Amino acid sequence: MEIKYRSHAVDRMLQRNISTAEVELVINEPDGTIKQSHDKFIYYKKVKGRKDNFIAAVTLIKSKNEIEVLTVMIDFEVQ
């Protein structure tokens, strides 16, 4: 699956010191997912070596072969 990043997501990754490898791990091996609409999902995962809570990636499923990362968050709390 191809993962693309919106500029907002890249800005937040830099700001929060989140690598593309970490985002790919969150998407490919999530601890959980939250469906927001038919094509928008939040993937979240506790990543080893990080002191913050869950890392979350808000994504848009473009096709079965392409996903777009809209933003990323740290200290995400599942409600």
Instruction: State the pLDDT at residue 62.
Output: 94
Beta-bridged to residue 60, according to DSSP, are: 40, 68
Q: What is the three-class DSSP state of 50?
A: coil
Beta bridge partners of 68: 4, 60
> Domain extents for the chain?
2-76
Q: In this predicted structure, what is the pLDDT of residue 18?
A: 97
* Helix, strand, coil tally for the chain in percent (to 5): 25, 45, 35
Angle ∠(19,21,24) on CA atoms, nearest 5: 115
Q: What is the pTM of this model?
A: 0.93
As a residue count, the chain comes to 79
Q: What is the pLDDT of residues 24-71, one digit of tens each?
A: 999 999 999 999 999 999 999 999 999 888 999 999 999 989 999 999
pLDDT band for 78, please (50, 70, 90 cuts).
confident
Instruction: Identify the CATH number of the domain defined by range 2-76.
Output: 3.10.450
> Higher-confidence residue: 7 or 77?
7
8, amino acid identity: H
